[in-house]
Amino acid sequence: MIKQLMGLKQLRQEKWYHYHDIIECLIGALEAKDAYTKGHSERVAHMAYDIGKQCGLKGAKLEKLHIAGHLHDIGKIGIPDYILRKPGKLLPQEYEMIRTHSQMGYDILIKSKVLKNIADIVLYHHERWDGRGYPHALKGEDIPFESRILAISDAIDAMTSRRSYKVAVTWEACYKEVKANSGIQFDPEIVIKMDSLWKQWEAQYSINYASHA
């Protein structure tokens, strides 16, 4: 019996490894469209995993959150390159176009038997705690828990990375910004749970950001 269980566990781990590998490859192709976003989804996936764990998620739930992190911006595949790479401020109609990427991501994922269970998490990753997000202006706990975690990890990586239209902020400034937006943009309980993670992230990701300079 133990042998059988070990076999199943190994099989599950192998399947997970291949599944994860293909997703990373797919997102690598998407991020190749814009050099500034290289590694973004991977960092978001890892930070979301750390936050999820801190919030008590385990096993398959944590894996699901991690995969959703890798795929959160998959809908950007449908956004014209000139908008994704635009160095200056976006025109209102260009910004509107960018905002369609969460729905586009949902539409892509819902077609897959394996990935449809993360379609909702991706759809709502730009919602805000105060209800001023998109695409459906959901508020507070109406937003799926995993999407609330992704929203914070996404914002942290966007702030601490250099993009074609902005410089990177320091981890200290980012921490203050997230705290200032607790209960406004972000779920306040998740923000509290993250307190022990900042030092670790700064040490882990500062090397990546230095290479952006």
Q: How far is the CB of 11 from Fe ion (least distance, A)?
A: 32
Nearest-angstrom CA–CA distance, 212 and 42: 16
In the shown chain, the binding pattern of residues 62 to 81 toward Fe ion, with x for contact by CB under 5 A and - for none, equals: -----------x--------
Nearer to Fe ion, 76 or 171 (CB): 76
Per 3-state DSSP, what percentage of the chain is helix, strand, and coil (rounded to 5)? 70, 0, 30
The one-letter amino acid at 67: I
Q: How far is the CB of 40 from Fe ion (least distance, A)?
A: 6
Tokens of 206: 């500062």
Nearer to Fe ion, 31 or 73 (CB): 73
Q: How far is the CB of 146 from Fe ion (least distance, A)?
A: 14
Q: How far is the CB of 72 from Fe ion (least distance, A)?
A: 6
Burial (CB < 10 A; 0-12, 13-18, 19+), residue 67, is buried
If we measure between CA atoms, which residue out of 148, 149, 123, 155 comes closest to residue 136? Answer: 123
Nearer to Fe ion, 73 or 127 (CB): 73
Nearest-angstrom CA–CA distance, 1 and 8: 11
Nearest-angstrom CA–CA distance, 135 and 195: 29
Footprint (CB under 5 A) of Fe ion, residues 139-178? 154
Nearer to Fe ion, 154 or 187 (CB): 154
Nearer to Fe ion, 69 or 190 (CB): 69
Q: How far is the CB of 161 from Fe ion (least distance, A)?
A: 10
The residue count for binding Fe ion (CB under 5 A) is 2
Residue ranges binding Fe ion (CB under 5 A)? 73, 154
